[in-house]
């Protein structure tokens, strides 16, 4: 049961990461782009099981 919940959280993390990338691609201003890039980092590190 706990393992299923953990896997679902990784799926959720991946989903949010994809949304962030999507938003990054849609941005017109450099400042907003950088903001999305920085927000993305913890999601990527968790998916790669680094943090």
Partner 1 sequence: MMRKLVSAAIGTALAVFAGISFHHSRHLREPVVPGPAVSRVATLGDYFAPLKGTINDANIYILEGKEPGGTVLLLGGTHPEEPAGRLAAWIFAENAELRQGRILLVLSANRSGTTATRIGGAYPADFTIPTAWGGQTFRMGDRWSNPLDQWPDPEVYLHYPSRQQLAYVDIRNLNRCFPGRPDGLLTERTCYAICELIRREKVDIEIDFHEAELQYPVISTIVAHERGADLAAAASMFISSLEGFAIGVENSPKALRGLSHREIGDATGAISLLLEAPEPFLDATRGRTDRRLLLTGRDPFVVRAGRRGLLFEKIDEKGWPIDVRVGRHTSTVLQVLEIWSGDHPDRAVVVAGVPRYAEVVEKGTGAFLKDPKSVDPGRLSFE
Residues at the contact surface with partner 1, assessed by CB under 8 A: 2, 5-6, 9, 24-25, 30, 33-34, 37-38, 40-41, 44-46, 48-51
CB of 27 closer than 8 Å to CB of 39? no
Minimum distance between the CB of residue 46 and partner 1, rounded to whole angstroms? 8
From CA 1, how far away is CA 39, in angstroms rounded?
A: 30
Minimum distance between the CB of residue 10 and partner 1, rounded to whole angstroms? 9
Which residue number, 9 or 15, has a Cβ lying nearer to partner 1? Answer: 9
Nearest-Å Rg of the Cα atoms of the chain is 13
């Amino acid at each position: 049961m706990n393992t299923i919940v953990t896997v679902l959280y990784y799926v959720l993390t991946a989903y949010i990461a994809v949304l962030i990338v999507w938003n990054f691609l849609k941005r017109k201003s450099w400042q907003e782009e950088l903001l999305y890039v920085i927000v993305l980092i913890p999601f990527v590190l968790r998916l790669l099981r680094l943090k």
